[in-house]
Amino acid sequence: MKNTTRNILLVSFFSLAATQVYAGTCELKFTRSACPGKEEISFKKCNGAASCSEFLEAASAADCATQATQACENKRLDITKSKVINATFDEKPIKTSAGSDDFCTDYKNKAAEFNKCS
């Protein structure tokens, strides 16, 4: 009886382990353009620089691309003029469905959120 219970537990464990999705590394490379005089605030997320990278887990290159496009959101319309976001998945460059390196070109709210400095 003990062997049967142990075997059931082992099978259950390996079944769960087999269903785990491999997570790759998604690097988002941000380059911000600040509204005039707002560079310090706009670049704060990159420790004062216009460009920096953020590393995330992604299940696939497509997932990484989705995260890159979502990162284009700009809530600080009078601080950050625009963003360019390039991405790599497991150190391989990825592009938008239209073939662009800049995922913000596919961002649906680009016209409403970019180039709105007062």
pLDDT at residue 19 is higher than 80: no
Nearest to 50 by CA among 58, 59, 41: 41
- Would the pTM of this model clear 0.85, i.e. be above it? no
**86: number of Cβ within 10 Å:** 20
State residue 80's pLDDT score: 97
**CA–CA separation, 55 and 68 (whole Å):** 11
**CA–CA separation, 45 and 85 (whole Å):** 14
CB 60 within 8 A of CB 115: no
State residue 18's pLDDT score: 43
Name which residue leads in pLDDT, 21 or 69: 69
Tracing tokens 């970019």 back to the chain, one arrives at: 114
Query: Rounded to the nearest 5 degrees, what angle is found at the Cα of 68, between the Cα atoms of 62 and 73?
Result: 140
Share of residues in the chain with pLDDT > 90 (%): 80
State residue 118's pLDDT score: 85
